[in-house]
Amino acid sequence: MRHRQLSKSIIAKLVVKYNLINDADAIRMVESAVVKHYQLDDYVEKKKYVSYGYYVYVYCDPTTSGLWNLYGNTFVEHMPFYVGKGINERKTDHLLKSHNGEVNDKLTHLKDIGFEPIIKVYNHGCMQQMALNLESHIIANLRQQGIELCNNTHQLDTKKYQKELVVTPLNIEKHMNLMVLEALNREPTYVKAAEVLGISYRTLYRKVKSLGLSRVAGSWRFQNDKKSD
């Protein structure tokens, strides 16, 4: 299905509600009529988390090799010792003087033996709350692997940042409606979409009318969805 451009405030609400940690999760969850079907307004104040340009950075020790998982399928081959989030040149500020004494000591030690830290950057250009979610997830994940980080925070629960949409009796109809929309956009004909959904052509026709679906610029959408730029 073709992704539609959505407002930053909508994505911000999803990031906060579901503790998303990367852009792929946001895109997956804002497909179709998620905003129409999932009540998000109570989860975040307008424009509170909509500042973009953030990223997550990880300081690694070049003298210690191995394989450590940060999140998902993302690994590093040198031992991490600090995880942070920031904007602009925040990732290199610690090289001048860190607010964290342990980081200062680590960097001084590396410099004394002729090394500099390896700095890895992830999710560059994301919003502040997403960077915070990813930073917390990485910290918790590394600590579960036995890594003693210099971070002063105490994140330990990675499950908080791995939430999925769960089908329940309360939202199953919403998921069914999304399935109809996805089938219409994925399949080449009305008849084929009905076949994939396991319903008759007439039933699909009635469903389209009741949901207020319409085809605009070759893409099915709910009538209150704005046209892509």
CA atoms within 13 A on the CB side of 38: 21
pLDDT per position as a tens digit, 64-115: 999 999 988 889 999 999 999 999 999 999 999 888 999 999 999 999 999 9
On whether residue 123 sits in a domain, the answer given is: yes
Instruction: Single out the residue in 161, 180, 214 at which a domain terminates.
Output: 161
Which pLDDT belongs to residue 83? 96
In the chain, where do the E strands start and end?
A: 54-71, 74-87, 118-126, 213-216, 219-222
User: Domain range for residue 221?
Assistant: 166-229
Whether residue 6 is predicted with pLDDT greater than 80 in this model: the reply is no
Average pLDDT rounded to a whole number, residues 12-23: 71
Instruction: Single out the residue in 140, 161, 182 at which a domain terminates.
Output: 161
Whether residue 56 is predicted with pLDDT greater than 70 in this model: the reply is yes
Q: Are 1 and 186 in contact (CB under 8 A)?
A: yes
Same domain, 97 and 62: yes
Whether pTM > 0.75 for this model: the answer is no
Same domain, 145 and 196: no
On whether residue 141 sits in a domain, the answer given is: yes
Instruction: Compute the distance between CA of residue 106 and CA of residue 110 in angstroms, rounded to an integer.
Output: 6
Same domain, 148 and 81: yes
**Sequence-separated (6 or more) residues with CB below 8 Å from residue 97:** 104
On whether residue 87 sits in a domain, the answer given is: yes
On whether residue 192 sits in a domain, the answer given is: yes
What's the CATH code of the domain at 196? Answer: 1.10.10
pLDDT per position as a tens digit, 164-194: 545 454 455 666 777 788 888 888 888 888 8
Same domain, 171 and 82: no
Instruction: Single out the residue in 128, 161, 194 at which a domain terminates.
Output: 161
Q: What is the DSSP string of 35-75?
A: HHHS--GGGS-TTTT----EEEEEEEEEEEEEEEEEETTEE
For residue 168 the two structure tokens come to 């329940």
pLDDT per position as a tens digit, 115-142: 999 999 998 878 888 888 889 999 999 9
Same domain, 126 and 191: no
Same domain, 182 and 129: no
Same domain, 120 and 100: yes
Q: What is the DSSP string of 84-106?
A: EEEETTHHHHHHH--S-HHHHHH
The total domain count for the chain is: 2
**Sequence-separated (6 or more) residues with CB below 8 Å from residue 110:** 61, 62, 63, 116, 117
Q: Are 121 and 60 in contact (CB under 8 A)?
A: no
Instruction: Compute the distance between CA of residue 126 and CA of residue 22 in angstroms, rounded to an integer.
Output: 8
Which pLDDT belongs to residue 104? 93
Same domain, 142 and 216: no
